[in-house]
């Protein structure tokens, strides 16, 4: 218990110093945040344009789709804030940061969530959150759905990070630069900003099982907006948490078996 | 003159090798970028199905598919000069360029041109060829020449724009955020998110005064045959005006910032 409190304190302190370091270039930082804030603005532009011509897209009304898209921006923003896959991939090849952090007496989750943080993505996350809150204020939400949604959302952010981490580990085996993980997750975030049913059964299966980002975005948002029954929603939350734990195990085992110290 | 061409050619070849150094990364990046038009195509399919109409903002569903496909093709030839200039300045590589025969602005332009040429040859052209097979646009020799001319002009305007912006690094060192902000803005105002005629009237008026439409929207509309010769001539005049404005601005900024270069206190 004491260890967990100490680790959590260390996590907050580390992020505080990451902030201080990042904001040493003030002008650039302000523009980075403005740039990431454009993500929710783009969501509003796209969805408003779509609904100028159609009333319900794939069974979702304007505010529901706005909520889904904003939630996608929030989850991807938070996940990238906690860990930028580009930085992790590059560091796995060069071993600059990871070699240093691995020497500290800290658990694996601490290493993941502190070493490759992208502070600027908080602009996107907070912008997405503000838009999400605005959108859901125009919809009706049940208490049970709200509780299940919060669990699914927290688990979902961890799931996205661990999936990014697991895929970034491919840098141990393949590809000279491995900068593709950032591009992959950018596209996955875009795809999950809309109801997965528009991609047909294949898309639904792809985003639920092969690259389970749907468990982090589409399904939690659907639970909140009452698209599923209570039992179905509970089942999704359980699957989401189990998938997150499984990904953590895969990441930990693969990392430990592939990592070779300052070899690079 | 011969020597100058040899210098440009040598710099072109070196930049080509450096661009192709991470080939697998290059290919994967193209693959993931191509998913964007597929997402939009499926989204618009749902919108057309829900609206019950066959035409939205003067575009059928097929022309909407074609638009996003072609816009994605042109996005590959986008200039990344802002990053190159700012990195060269913040890492102190400017002097190295200034000591070489081409000088800093020309060397930067050539490197950016190589990057864009490789991407155009390996991605824009094959995707446009595929789009021609899929959508059968009424392409003529004249429209192909129009697209080429607009691509050259928009690349030049944007290179001058990014060079000017990149020179901010002489004053504030780190400008990654500024570049990212303007990249997102260019993409949105250039028509990658939605066709520009779908913006509200007031926004449209402002957007059509800016040069970013030349990046993706105008070439895509020429490709689909939506722009005639008279309209094209008006667009060329507009592009020339922006080229002059950006050229003057870039010249004035470079003339000023090069005085700030300080090596060993000299």
In a domain, B110, yes or no: yes
As for how many domains chain B has, the answer is 1
Name the residue in chain B with its Cα closest to that of A51.
B47
CA distance B96 to A101: 36
Of B45, B176, B184, the CB nearest to A38: B184
In a domain, B180, yes or no: yes
Of the ranges A30-34, A98-102, B180-184, which one carries the lowest mean pLDDT score? A98-102
Owning domain of residue A81: 2-263
In a domain, B265, yes or no: no
B174 interfaces chain A, CB cutoff of 8 Å: yes
Of the ranges A1-5, A41-45, A216-220, B242-246, which one carries the lowest mean pLDDT score? A1-5
Whether B39 sits inside 8 A of A29 (CB atoms) is no
pLDDT single digits (tens) B162-180? 999 998 888 887 888 888 8
Whether B24 sits inside 8 A of A175 (CB atoms) is yes
Q: Is the confidence metric ipTM above 0.85 for this complex?
A: no
Q: Are B153 and B214 in contact (CB under 8 A)?
A: yes
Q: Is the pLDDT of residue A172 over 80?
A: no
Of A53, A58, A190, the CB nearest to B39: A190
Neighboring chain A residues of B180 at a CB cutoff of 8 Å: 31-32, 35
How many other C-beta atoms can be found within 10 angstroms of the C-beta atom of residue A171? 23
Interface of B with A in 86-125 (CB under 8 A): none
**Alpha-carbon torsion angle B191, B192, B197, B198, nearest 10:** -140
**Mean pLDDT confidence for B142-146:** 93
HSE of B183, CA atoms in CB hemisphere, 13 A: 18
Query: Which tokens sit at A150?
Result: 């919060």
CA–CA distances in Å: residue A173 to residues A89, B33, B182: 11, 24, 36
Produce one character per residue of B144-153: b if its CB has 16 or more CB atoms within 10 Å, e if not.
eebbebbbeb
Neighboring chain B residues of A175 at a CB cutoff of 8 Å: 24-25, 28
A35 interfaces chain B, CB cutoff of 8 Å: yes
Neighboring chain A residues of B184 at a CB cutoff of 8 Å: 35, 38, 42
Owning domain of residue B71: 2-260
Q: Is the pLDDT of residue A94 over 80?
A: no
pLDDT single digits (tens) B183-231? 989 999 999 989 999 888 888 899 999 999 999 999 999 999 989 889 9
Q: Are A234 and A148 in contact (CB under 8 A)?
A: yes
A120 interfaces chain B, CB cutoff of 8 Å: yes
As for how many domains chain A has, the answer is 1
* Secondary structure element (H or E) that encloses residue B146, with its range: helix B141-166
In a domain, B72, yes or no: yes
| 3-state class (DSSP) for residue B257 | helix
């Amino acid at each position: 218990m004491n260890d967990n409190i100490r680790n959590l304190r260390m996590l907050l302190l580390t992020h505080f110093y990451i902030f201080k370091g990042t904001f040493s270039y003030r002008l650039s930082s302000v523009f980075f945040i403005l740039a990431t804030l454009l993500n929710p603005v783009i969501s509003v532009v796209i969805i408003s344009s779509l609904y100028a011509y159609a009333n319900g897209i794939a069974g979702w009304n304007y505010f529901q789709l706005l909520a889904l898209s904003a939630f996608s921006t929030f989850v991807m923003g938070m996940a990238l804030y906690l860990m930028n896959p580009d930085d992790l991939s590059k560091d796995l090849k060069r071993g600059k940061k990871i070699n240093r952090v691995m020497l500290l007496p800290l658990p694996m989750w601490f290493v993941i969530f502190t070493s490759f943080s992208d502070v600027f993505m908080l602009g996107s996350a907070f912008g997405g959150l503000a838009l999400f809150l605005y959108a859901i204020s125009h919809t009706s939400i049940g208490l049970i759905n709200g509780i299940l949604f919060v669990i699914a959302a927290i688990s979902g952010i961890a799931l996205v990070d661990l999936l990014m981490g697991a895929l970034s580990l491919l840098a141990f085996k393949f590809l000279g630069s491995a900068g593709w993980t950032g591009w992959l997750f950018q596209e996955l975030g875009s795809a999950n900003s809309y109801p997965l049913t528009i991609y047909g059964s294949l898309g639904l299966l792809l985003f639920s099982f092969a690259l389970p980002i749907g468990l982090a975005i589409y399904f939690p948002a659907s639970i909140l907006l009452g698209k599923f029954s209570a039992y179905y929603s509970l089942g999704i939350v359980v699957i989401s948490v189990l998938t997150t734990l499984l990904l953590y195990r895969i990441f930990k085992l693969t990392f430990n078996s592939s990592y070779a110290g300052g070899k690079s | 003159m011969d020597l100058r061409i040899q210098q440009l050619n040598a710099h072109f070849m070196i930049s080509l090798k450096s661009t192709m150094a991470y080939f697998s990364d290059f290919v994967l990046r193209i693959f993931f970028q191509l998913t964007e038009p597929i997402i939009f195509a499926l989204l618009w399919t749902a919108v057309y199905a829900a609206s019950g109409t066959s035409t939205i903002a003067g575009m059928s569903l097929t022309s909407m598919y074609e638009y996003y496909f072609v816009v994605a093709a042109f996005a590959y030839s986008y200039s990344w000069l802002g990053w190159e200039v700012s990195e060269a300045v913040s890492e102190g590589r400017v002097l190295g360029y200034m000591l070489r025969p081409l000088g800093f602005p020309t060397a930067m332009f050539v490197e950016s041109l190589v990057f864009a040429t490789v991407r155009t040859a390996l991605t824009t052209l094959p995707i446009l060829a595929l789009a021609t097979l899929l959508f059968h646009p009424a392409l003529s020799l004249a429209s192909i020449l129009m697209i080429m001319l607009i691509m050259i002009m928009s690349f030049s305007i944007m290179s001058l724009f990014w060079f000017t912006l990149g020179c901010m690094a002489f004053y504030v060192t780190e400008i990654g955020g500024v570049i990212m902000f303007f990249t997102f803005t260019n993409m949105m105002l250039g028509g990658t998110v939605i066709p520009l005629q779908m913006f509200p009237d007031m926004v449209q008026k402002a957007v059509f005064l800016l040069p970013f439409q030349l990046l993706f929207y105008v070439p895509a509309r020429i490709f689909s045959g939506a722009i005639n010769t008279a309209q094209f001539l008006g667009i060329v005049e507009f592009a020339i005006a922006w080229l002059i404005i950006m050229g003057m601005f870039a010249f004035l900024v470079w003339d000023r910032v090069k005085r700030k270069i300080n090596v060993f206190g000299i």
